[in-house]
Amino acid sequence: MTTDPSTAAAEGSEGDRVIIFDTTLRDGEQCPGATMTFEEKLEVADCLDEMGVDIIEAGFPIASEGDFEAVTAIAKRVQNATIAGLARAINADIDRAGEAVKHARRGRIHTFVSTSPIHLAHQMRKTEAEVLEIITATVARARNLVEDVEWSAMDATRTGIDYLCQCVDAAIKAGATTINLPDTVGYATPDEYAEMFRQVRERVPGSDKAVFSTHCHNDLGLAVANSLAALGAGARQIECTINGIGERAGNAALEEIVMAIRTRRDKLRYDTGIESTMLARASKLVSAVTNFPVQYNKAIVGRNAFAHESGIHQDGILKHQQTYEIMTPESVGVGKTSLVMGKHSGRNAFRSKLKELGYDLGENAFEDAFVRFKSLADRKKHVYDEDIEALVDQGIAHMHDRMKVVSLTVIAGNMGPQTATLTLDIDGAQHTVQATGNGPVDATFNAIKMLVPHEVKLDLYQVHAVTEGTDAQAEVSVRLEEGERMVTGRGADTDTMVASARAYLAALNKLMVKRQKMAHVQQI
Ligand SMILES: CC(=O)SCCNC(=O)CCNC(=O)[C@H](O)C(C)(C)COP(=O)(O)OP(=O)(O)OC[C@H]1O[C@@H](n2cnc3c(N)ncnc32)[C@H](O)[C@@H]1OP(=O)(O)O
Ligand SMILES: CC(C)C(=O)C(=O)O
Ligand SMILES: [Mg+2]
């Protein structure tokens, strides 16, 4: 069996290897704001090479001195991948690309020219016949510099099929070893795109000598679907980028192509040479160097790609991972499946989370914690482990408290007076009062004093956020002093006033227990 992927692909052998051509450093860098420094490009190239990308399009050498230097440096250092440099159908571009890739173990010149009527009329301002001559001359020139020449028909999908076949024929005759038929403006649908490959390969006599390649843009969100459709019509090279970055809406995403091919090998029958466990790392690297965040729900590498929040899905995942996952997170380099605790979570996931956090609650305590967890999740966007710990700890600590906060409404602001309306459950009966104070906390504590008259000194009042964000839970600590007796209390809630009332009551509950103990001791 042929081991060189391009030879195997041209031969169309069974068990086909699809050639992965990564253009993150060229088409990817073309999108506004994605410019990478020289060092960043080398880092990305090293990562792509280690991951097993077959061809790295390292840049467009004529575009700038910096691009030329980057392509040259990448050509010199990369160990395995073929290094391609892009060139227009212009002698100077081709010579510059040849100069840059000549240092590579395997160098490729990728030259392109428009073929569609709209491009010929308005951009190139050339006739079809003139462009045919240009193709012959420029591909031949490139072939004099390197063995490996890719020719692309820019805007192929809006080109008449007869003329496209003539162009491909000219390119192959002039020595092109790879023929790329790009959907430059992301206009094609999968069946159309596949049909174009089928027709060109059938009609152009020398097409069996070249590898056919896809290059799809995502303007209609069809880049990956189109690329895969073309595989079925004989394409054996797919051009793509990490995270799908590229012109406008981007290119086909490498990680999606690779995992679709791997996961659906039963249907697609091909494979790539990519080490998929490096996909997450490559995605993070490209996101960091381009400053382009990866959308949360991005397939394969988005932070939600292996995260489950809804109770039914979490229950399924806990019972058998494949109930709701078609590939493992480990296979793409993501640590593990995560069960995100939120308002859609159910008891099974909550129980598993408690176990992970080291809690072993009895049925009643568990039910109580679950009810309070649901209530917190209703009010808070992200429920972190720390939130659950605070919630459970609070429940355990206050299970036997005589006084509990039922509800609290506070009017704050600079127009005063700050007022607190508080309902407490005291020994099973509910009592409500309204109190004012010098600020919302003072009003809240005054309300407690009205319901539970006592004389103590507030020695400490401290607030800190349990987690981050404006919806984080506040954790309040208070210390009360009554003569020799000193007690502390803590309370947590997304509402700082409720957390304050809970903390104060927690301390007061402890004080009562201490008083009772002392009375008992004195009686003895
Ligand atoms: C679909 C794609 O992704 S194509 C690649 C797009 N990438 C880039 O353009 C990034 C790098 N580009 C650049 O740095 C510059 O555009 C350069 C260096 C290539 C050219 O710069 P300039 O010489 O100043 O030309 P400019 O960009 O203004 O216009 C492009 C010229 O190339 C011509 N051209 C465009 N594509 C091709 C082609 N494939 N073959 C030959 N000529 C072409 C245009 O017709 C235009 O020619 P004109 O000046 O005679 O009208
Ligand atoms: C240069 C070519 C291959 C391109 O990027 C496109 O047509 O989208
Ligand atoms: Mg492109």
Q: Which runs of E-coded beta strand occur in 247-400?
A: 307-308, 338-339
Residue 345 and residue 215 in one domain: no
5 in any annotated domain: no
Residue 262's closest CA among 270, 252, 253, 250?
270
Nearest CA to ligand 1 atom 33: 124
Cβ neighbours around 57 below 10 Å, total: 27
Kindly identify the ligand whose nearest atom is closest to the C-alpha of 252.
3
6 in any annotated domain: no
Residue 316 and residue 413 in one domain: no
Q: Is the pLDDT of residue 455 over 80?
A: yes
Rounded CA-CA distance 127/33 in Å is 35
Nearest CA to ligand 1 atom 45: 124
Of 21, 31, 60, which is best to mutate to test ligand 1, by the most ligand atoms within 8 angstroms of its C-beta?
Answer: 60
Give me the residues paired with residue 253 across strands. 241
57 in any annotated domain: yes
387 lines ligand 1 (CB under 6 A): no
Rounded CA-CA distance 61/73 in Å is 12
Rounded CA-CA distance 395/379 in Å is 18
**pLDDT tens by residue, 170-210:** 999 999 999 999 999 999 999 999 999 999 999 999 999 99
63 lines ligand 1 (CB under 6 A): yes
* Ligand 1 atom closest to the CA of 86, numbered from 1: 5
Residue 434 and residue 374 in one domain: no
**pLDDT tens by residue, 328-337:** 999 999 989 9
345 lines ligand 2 (CB under 6 A): no
Residue 249 and residue 109 in one domain: yes
301 in any annotated domain: no
**pLDDT tens by residue, 264-285:** 999 999 999 999 999 999 999 9
10 in any annotated domain: no
Round the average pLDDT of the chain to a whole number and report it.
92
Q: Where a domain ends, among 226, 259, 290? A: 290
Q: Where a domain ends, among 264, 290, 316? A: 290
Domain encompassing residue 426 = 402-523
**Beta strands 55-59 and 19-22, pairing class:** parallel
How confident is the model at residue 517, as a pLDDT? 67
Kindly identify the ligand whose nearest atom is closest to the C-alpha of 237.
2
Q: Please give the radius of gyration of the chain, using alpha carbons only, rounded to the nearest integer.
A: 33
Residues contacting residue 407 through CB under 8 Å, at least 6 positions apart: 421, 422, 423
Give distance in angstroms: CA of 287 to centre of ligand 2.
22
Residue 145 and residue 284 in one domain: yes
123 lines ligand 1 (CB under 6 A): yes
22 lines ligand 2 (CB under 6 A): no
Nearest CA to ligand 2 atom 1: 112
Residues contacting residue 512 through CB under 8 Å, at least 6 positions apart: 402
Residue 45 and residue 156 in one domain: yes
Give distance in angstroms: CA of 184 to centre of ligand 3.
5
154 lines ligand 2 (CB under 6 A): yes
pLDDT band at 13 (very low <50, low <70, confident <90, very high): very low
CATH number at residue 414: 3.30.160.270
Nearest CA to ligand 2 atom 7: 184
57 lines ligand 1 (CB under 6 A): no
Q: Where a domain ends, among 372, 395, 418? A: 395
Q: Which runs of E-coded beta strand occur in 280-377?
A: 307-308, 338-339
10 Å CB burial of residue 221 (0-12, 13-18, 19+) is exposed
150 lines ligand 2 (CB under 6 A): no
**pLDDT tens by residue, 14-59:** 458 999 999 999 999 999 889 999 999 999 999 999 999 999 999 9
Q: Give the single-character DSSP code of 185.
A: T
Of 154, 239, 247, which is best to mutate to test ligand 2, by the most ligand atoms within 8 angstroms of its C-beta?
Answer: 154
Residue 511 and residue 429 in one domain: yes
How confident is the model at residue 519, as a pLDDT? 65
Residue 328 and residue 365 in one domain: yes
Residue 380 and residue 248 in one domain: no
Q: What is the pTM of this model?
A: 0.83
Give distance in angstroms: CA of 216 to centre of ligand 2.
8
Residue 215's closest CA among 153, 168, 264?
153
Residues contacting residue 152 through CB under 8 Å, at least 6 positions apart: 110, 111, 112, 113, 180, 181, 182, 213, 215
Residue 418 and residue 511 in one domain: yes
ipTM exceeds 0.95: yes
Domain count across the chain: 3
212 in any annotated domain: yes
Give me the residues paired with residue 409 across strands. 421
Mean pLDDT for 314-323 is: 96
Residue 75 and residue 157 in one domain: yes
Q: Which two tokens stand for residue 432?
A: 């409500």
Residue 101 and residue 214 in one domain: yes
pLDDT band at 524 (very low <50, low <70, confident <90, very high): very low
2 in any annotated domain: no
Angle formed by the axes of helices 347-356 and 311-319, nearest 10°: 60
Give distance in angstroms: CA of 249 to centre of ligand 2.
14
11 in any annotated domain: no
